[in-house]
Structure 1
Amino acid sequence: MLTHRHVVVIGLSISSSWGNGHATTYRSLLGALARRGHDVLFLERDVPWYAAHRDLRDWDSVRVAFYDSLDDLGRQYRSAIQAADVVIVGSFVPEGAAVLDWVRRNANGVLMFYDIDTPTTLSRLEADQSCEYVRRDQLGLVDTVLSFAAGTALDRLTSLGARRAHALCCSVDPCVHLPVNEPTRWDLGYLGTYAADRQAAVERLLLGVARQRVTGRFAVAGPMYPDTIDWPANVDRVDHLPPLAHAAFFCGQRFTLNLTRADMRRLGHSPSVRLFEAAACGAAIISDAWDGLEDFFEPYVEILPASSAADVLQYLDISDAERRTIGQRARDRVLSAHTSEHRAVELEAYVAEAMGLHDLARARMAASPE
């Protein structure tokens, strides 16, 4: 275990999980770091859309503070940045590129960029498009780039100039997401914020199935779905669910559907937070397929890949005994490799590596003639 460290994270949001997957990721990872003895401060830009939907309650393991602007960040937290052993700046932070520049001028410890949106970053930077939260040159100015995606994404980040790129995929806190005694309300459910590039899969693999199996019960939970969607009568709509309600939602389904954003599917090796959450709850997961899925769950044993409504309908006829077995295997896999504790240990190793390189650089400078 890495000795006690002062860690400062500047991220999109930890206070509100509304419309983003960052908050649950940070809560899981940073909560584990705090439990392992590290002092963790999370700094969040105070914006109205998250302020109106804050669902972080009575959680004191990580200190959370807010700033109004880049200037306010400097006024309030310059000393915290200077004193930190590790500073991590996340993707999609408002004015993130400017924040990274400011942190680099003021940080004395290890500086990392945590890319929770690796597919978006790669597509923009490789096409020389504007990316307000990070510039291409900044990938080589931080000590380490942490990537939500594994596989070829790491080589591509290195090709863009990153000194070191390591996978730090999402994880789950098994104390929050776990099996609960919940009556079965739905045959199939889906939890996810509306996304235009994902909606065709929602239509094909859930709404289309609901229209064919009119005696079944289905559910879609998540915010921002447009009013123009034609919801079948046997599909329940649930608006935003806070993380503490996820377990009850997953456990109230016979099967749960996992759908992946288009850019994550194309890149591959990019599991979503919801995938690990559902598995930790012991849910039997039907998922779209993508390269690298087998690195996280064994197809047809721990997870059920689907590309068509016919696939889903076939899975819905699986016996409850087999369904429970599949869900338990998925839960076992998560508990063995994908908890927040596992990710915290991985992060500690990456920090130790960067600190060792810092110490080596200082030693070389001290030994070199003037």
Structure 2
Amino acid sequence: MAAPLNISFFASSLVSAYWNGAATYYRGMVRALARLGHRVTFYEPDAYGRQAHRDMEDPDWATVVVYPATEEGVFSSLEAARGSDIVVKASGVGVFDALLEAEVLGLKREGTQVIFWDVDAPATLERIGTDPADPFLPLVPRYDMILTYGGGDPVVRAYRGFGARECVPIYNALDPDTHHPVPPDERLRADLSFLGNRLPDRERRVEEFFLSVAERLPRRSFLLAGSGWEDKSKSENVRYIGHLGTGDHNAFNCSPMAVLNVSRDGMARYGFSPATRVFEAAGAGACMITDLWEGIGEFFEPEREILVAANGEEVAQILERLTPALAAEVGRKARARVRAEHTYAHRAKQFEEIFSAGSAWRNGRLP
């Protein structure tokens, strides 16, 4: 095993998935790193009601520090992280992001690397690309490395174009202990289900790939989960259940005939950005229908392990020809693929290879 690393992680939340879609990514990565012997302290702000909507207790595989959502809380947490082997500032903490992005660089020293981990790289790159005064722009070259959870070569090229010393995608994945098959839940039965919060850069695509399909197929049943869709116009065959805690995600994935993935605008444009829920659904053996984006074949074989639609009309066509038997076969193959190649154990080993004591990067020998 590589020498254990002491990692300090500043991000939105490890213990609450409330308005925090990256929660399961953080959990999968941190838990897998802990299994390799690394020590993680996760600093998260008490913000957006997340602590009131916790869906897990503090885990035994990480130290969770919840700090007040104030400047004083930020600075005290930064001081506590001083001396770590690696300090991570993730994108989208939600409060004092600009302050953290600048001040975390003050922790760099001999033996301490500071990295920026972008869990929404397309949005970040489009933001700094259109605003030369964005405060994050001049900071990019000062980070030891940029990690992303998707985007492939297009995101890597873009970050390097902004001066990043290095940029490496560490993709979403599956934690097999957390996401796995369970018996169907009658409350969550449907022909097609979609789970996602209502966000400006996702709403139009949800209209196209989900809500319009429900209108086309009035005899089919549809289930919508996620925050913010209360006042959205829906046809009568769409049942909306609001925020769904992570404890119900396996049942959500195992109960419908098919589960829909809809990428956010930027991730669809950049490609190579499989959402966390794609791997979670595959781990549960769900039949997935996904919108079309470049790079799908790097993760799943289209038409064998995942069904791909370029627009809402194609989603409707797939749904009309899909049978429970065919859906079960697609889900079985997807589960086998993800368990063999795309678990957080695979991703943690990648992280370890980059940052372990004997790695070329840690010794300054990467180009």
Q: Per-residue displacement from partner, 1:253-310 (whole Å, max 9, x unpaired)?
A: 1001100001111111111111111111111111110111221111111111113343
Tell me whether 2-11 or 56-65 shows the greater mean CA deviation: 56-65
Please tell me whether the aligned partners of residues 110 and 355 of structure 1 are also in contact (alpha carbons under 8 angstroms).
no
Q: Per-residue displacement from partner, 1:132-184 (whole Å, max 9, x unpaired)?
A: 6xx12221111110012212110110110100111112222111111111156
Q: How does 1:215-230 map to 2 (within 5 A)?
A: 215-227=219-231, 229-230=232-233
Write the letter of the residue equivalent to 1:166.
Answer: V
Please tell me whether the aligned partners of residues 205 and 265 of structure 2 are also in contact (alpha carbons under 8 angstroms).
no
Q: Does 1:23 align with 2:23?
A: yes
- Aligned with 1:345 (options 340, 349, 354): 349
Write the letter of the residue equivalent to 1:256.
Answer: V
CA distance in 2, matches of 1:358, 1:199: 41
1:165 counterpart residue number? 167
Gaps of 5+ in 1: 362-370
1:137 counterpart residue number? 138
TM-score (norm 2): 0.91
TM-score (norm 1): 0.90
Please tell me whether the aligned partners of residues 150 and 169 of structure 1 are also in contact (alpha carbons under 8 angstroms).
no
1:323 counterpart residue number? 327
Please tell me whether the aligned partners of residues 16 and 56 of structure 1 are also in contact (alpha carbons under 8 angstroms).
yes
Residue 89 of structure 2 aligns to a residue in which SS?
A: strand
1:58 deviation in Å?
A: 5.2
Q: Per-residue displacement from partner, 1:307-335 (whole Å, max 9, x unpaired)?
A: 33432233222232221111111112211
CA distance in 1, matches of 2:206, 2:18: 19
Write the letter of the residue equivalent to 2:334.
Answer: A
- How many equivalent pairs are there? 357
Q: How does 1:293-304 map to 2 (within 5 A)?
A: 293-304=296-307
- Aligned with 2:295 (options 271, 292, 295): 292
Q: How does 1:243-322 map to 2 (within 5 A)?
A: 243-316=246-319, 317-322=321-326
Q: How does 1:1-370 map to 2 (within 5 A)?
A: 1-57=1-57, 59-68=59-68, 69-78=70-79, 80-93=80-93, 94-108=95-109, 109-129=112-132, 131=134, 135-148=136-149, 149-183=151-185, 185-227=189-231, 229-316=232-319, 317-352=321-356, 356-357=360-361, 359=363
Please tell me whether the aligned partners of residues 112 and 145 of structure 1 are also in contact (alpha carbons under 8 angstroms).
yes
Write the letter of the residue equivalent to 2:303.
Answer: Y
Please tell me whether the aligned partners of residues 224 and 240 of structure 2 are also in contact (alpha carbons under 8 angstroms).
yes
Please tell me whether the aligned partners of residues 170 and 347 of structure 2 are also in contact (alpha carbons under 8 angstroms).
yes
User: Cα RMSD over matched residues?
Assistant: 2.1
Distance 1:84 1:199, change over 3 A: same
Q: Per-residue displacement from partner, 1:189-226 (whole Å, max 9, x unpaired)?
A: 00000123323332333233323333322100000114
CA distance in 2, matches of 1:89, 1:144: 11
Identity of aligned residues (%): 33
Tell me whether 161-170 or 93-102 shows the greater mean CA deviation: 93-102
Residue 45 of structure 1 aligns to a residue in which SS?
A: strand
Gaps of 5+ in 2: none
Residue 67 of structure 1 aligns to a residue in which SS?
A: strand
Write the letter of the residue equivalent to 2:157.
Answer: D
1:3 deviation in Å?
A: 1.8
